[in-house]
Chains A and B, each alone.
Chain A
C-alpha cells in the first residue's frame, strides 16, 4: 500500500531541497514520526492501564491465594490453583459447555445469517423495511433480550409453551430454562436470535461487493441458482464470512451476560466466564478465579491463532 507519508515524499518546496540532498524531507518525516508517537501516547497509556496491567495482575493472582476481601496480603502458592482447576470436573464441564455453545450457535447464526443476507440482497419492495426489522434484535441490549426470552420461556405463563401447545407440538408445558436437557438449547436460541443480525450485516456487505458479471454469465448459461451459490457466491464471500465467523466465535467463547441472566450459575449452562466470575466474586477466591480467567484467556488465544493461521485470514483486509 501507499501511505500518506510515502506519497508525501518530496512535494512542493521540499522538491527543490530534495534535489540538493533531501535534508528538508527527512526533517519533515522525522517530525511526523515524532508527532505520531506523541499522538499515540495517551491512547497507549490508557490501554496499558486498563488492559495490559489488569491482565498481568490477573495472571499474577493466579499463582497466589488472594481473596476478594483482602487483596493486599496473599502468598505465592505456585501452580496449586491450576492443579485444582484441571482436576475440577465443573471447570471441564464449563469448558465443554462454552465450546458446544460456540460451535452450535455460530453455525446456526452463519446459516441463518446467510439466508437472511441472500434475501436482503435481492431487489424487492419493502427491502428497507426488512433491513430495519432485521437490525432490531441487534439494537436490543443483551440483558433485555435475556429477560424478554426468559419471560417467553416461562414454564407456567410463557408464550412458547402456550404456542407449542396450541399447535399441538407439546402436550404439557416444559421448563425451558430449568430442564438440564433443554437449558442449553434455550440459551442458544436466544443467542442466535440476538446475534444473527450482526452476521447478516457482515455477509450482506460481502455480497454487495461481488462483481455482477459472473452472475450474468451464469444466468445466460442457464446454471441452476443453487449451483451458482455454491460455485460462485460462497467461494467469493469466503474471506468476509471467515472474518464474521471469528468475530462471532470470539464473542461466544467469552459469553457471560446472556447465560448468567437466563440460567444464573446453573451447571447445565455454565460457561468458562461464569465459572471464573463465580469463583472470583461469589466464592471470593481471587487466586483460583484468576487461574481460571488466565486459562480461559489462553484457550481463546490459542483457538484464535489456530483459526487465523489455518484460515490464512487477513484481518487487516490486505492492508
Chain B
C-alpha cells in the first residue's frame, strides 16, 4: 500500500497550526495551577495542580469588584450602542436621502480613529461631566469605537432584509418606528447578537481609556487590574496570580466565542468582504 505522504504532511501542518494557536493559553493555565516555587520550573504537562493562585488573586486585590466593573461597563456599552445603532442603521440602510454616503464614510472614518488622538479632549470631557474615575465615564468614552462599528455592521444587515416586508408594512400604514420595532426587530436577532457580542468583547478588552480615566483600584476594569498587579517589589511580579487572573477573565470569552463562532465570523467579515 502506498503511504499517503501528502495527506500526512497536510495533517502535520494542521497540528503545528493548532499547537501554535492553542499552546500559549494552555501554558498560562498550567502556570496558574502551580504554587510556590513550582512556578520557577518549566513544565510542559500538568502535575500537582493547586488553586492557591486563584484564591490569592481575589484576596490580594479587589478582583471580584474589577470583574463586576468590567461586566457592568461592557453590558451598558452594548445596550447603549445597540439602541442608538439600530434606528440609525434603519435610516442608513433603508432610506435614501441626501448626505447618506458621506455620513457612512464619516462613521467608517471614526471607527478608524486612533484612541490616543482624542485622549486629552476626552479626558477634559469626562472630567467636565463629573465622570472621572466612574464606570459611566468609561461607557461614554467606549461609544467612540463601539458605535461606528455597530452602526456599520447593522446597516449592512438592514440593507439585505427583504424589501417586500417593508412595502407591505407601509401599505398598511406603518410608521418607520413600527417598521423597525415590529417588522425588522424580530428578523434582526442574529445580527444583534453578533454585533452585541463583538461590542461586548471590545469593551471588555479596552485598556487605554480604562487606564487613563480611572484612578482607584475599586473602579478599575479587568485589563487594567491585570496589567497593574504587582508583587512585593517591582521586579518580583506574582506571575502565578497574574496567570490565574488571566485565565479567569479569558475562559468565559473563549466559551462565548466558540459558541457563537459562526456569527462572529459573519459579523467580522460583514462590510469588509461583501460585494
Instruction: Please list the residues of chain A having a beta carbon within 8 angstroms of any beta carbon in chain B.
Output: 3-8, 11-13, 28, 32-33, 35-37, 39-40, 42-44, 46-47, 49-51, 53-58, 60-61, 66, 68, 71, 116, 119, 122, 124, 126, 129-149, 151-152, 154, 156-159, 162-163, 193, 197-198, 201-202, 205-206, 209, 239-240, 243-244, 247, 250, 253-254, 256-257, 260-261, 272-273, 276-277, 280-281, 286, 289-290, 293-294, 296-297, 300, 304, 314-319
Check if B254 sits within 8 Å of A5, measured CB to CB: no
Check if B27 sits within 8 Å of A159, measured CB to CB: yes
Check if B250 sits within 8 Å of A42, measured CB to CB: no
Residue of A nearest to B177 (CB): A35
Within the complex, which residue of B18, B88, B239 is in contact with A154, where a contact is CB–CB below 8 Å?
B239
Q: Is B8's CB within 8 Å of the partner chain A? A: no
Write the nearest CB–CB distance from A96 to chain B, whole angstroms: 17
**Chain A to chain B contacts (Cβ below 8 Å), 24 pairs:** A7-B163, A12-B171, A33-B97, A40-B87, A42-B87, A42-B88, A50-B125, A51-B118, A71-B127, A122-B10, A134-B21, A136-B257, A143-B226, A144-B246, A151-B28, A152-B24, A193-B24, A206-B273, A244-B272, A250-B112, A254-B117, A277-B116, A300-B112, A317-B156
- Are A43 and B88 also in contact (CB < 8 A) when A293-B116, A296-B114 are? yes
In the complex, chain B residues whose CB is within 8 Å of the CB of A140: 25, 250, 253-254
Interface of A is mostly: helix
Within the complex, which residue of A3, A139, A240, A314 is in contact with B254, where a contact is CB–CB below 8 Å?
A139
In the complex, chain A residues whose CB is within 8 Å of the CB of B113: 51, 55, 297
- Are A151 and B223 also in contact (CB < 8 A) when A130-B14, A134-B17, A157-B42 are? no
Check if A162 sits within 8 Å of B96, measured CB to CB: no
Within the complex, which residue of A71, A124, A141, A319 is in contact with B223, where a contact is CB–CB below 8 Å?
A141
Residue of A nearest to B143 (CB): A50
Interface of B is mostly: helix
In the complex, chain A residues whose CB is within 8 Å of the CB of B239: 151, 154, 157
Q: Is B63's CB within 8 Å of the partner chain A? A: no
In the complex, chain B residues whose CB is within 8 Å of the CB of A40: 87-88, 91-92, 103
Q: Is B216's CB within 8 Å of the partner chain A? A: no
Check if B147 sits within 8 Å of A139, measured CB to CB: no
Check if A143 sits within 8 Å of B250, measured CB to CB: no
Write the nearest CB–CB distance from B29 to chain A, whole angstroms: 10
In the complex, chain B residues whose CB is within 8 Å of the CB of A151: 28, 31, 239, 242-243
Q: Is B193's CB within 8 Å of the partner chain A? A: no
Q: List 14 extra interface pairs beyond A8-B163, A47-B147, A197-B21, CB under 8 A.
A: A3-B96, A4-B94, A8-B167, A11-B170, A51-B110, A53-B121, A54-B118, A71-B127, A147-B243, A147-B246, A149-B24, A152-B24, A254-B116, A257-B207
Within the complex, which residue of A209, A300, A316 is in contact with B104, where a contact is CB–CB below 8 Å?
A316
Check if A50 sits within 8 Å of B40, measured CB to CB: no
- Are A8 and B177 also in contact (CB < 8 A) when A55-B117, A136-B21, A261-B227 are? no
Q: Is B59's CB within 8 Å of the partner chain A? A: no
Closest 5 CB pairs of A and B: A317-B275, A54-B121, A57-B121, A254-B114, A36-B91
In the complex, chain B residues whose CB is within 8 Å of the CB of A35: 91, 95, 175-177
Interface size on B, residues (CB 8 A): 101
Within the complex, which residue of A13, A36, A254, A256 is in contact with B97, where a contact is CB–CB below 8 Å?
A36
Contact residues of B between 216 and 275, Cβ < 8 Å to A: 222-224, 226-227, 239, 242-243, 246, 249-250, 253-254, 256-258, 261, 264-265, 268-269, 271-275
Write the nearest CB–CB distance from B39 to chain A, whole angstroms: 7
Check if B208 sits within 8 Å of A257, measured CB to CB: yes
Check if A56 sits within 8 Å of B121, measured CB to CB: yes
Residue of A nearest to B41 (CB): A157
Residue of A nearest to B204 (CB): A141
Residue of B nearest to A56 (CB): B121
Q: Is B108's CB within 8 Å of the partner chain A? A: yes
Within the complex, which residue of B27, B159, B269, B273 is in contact with A148, where a contact is CB–CB below 8 Å?
B27
Of the candidates B21, B22, B90, B222, the one having the most CB atoms from chain A within 10 angstroms of its own CB is B21
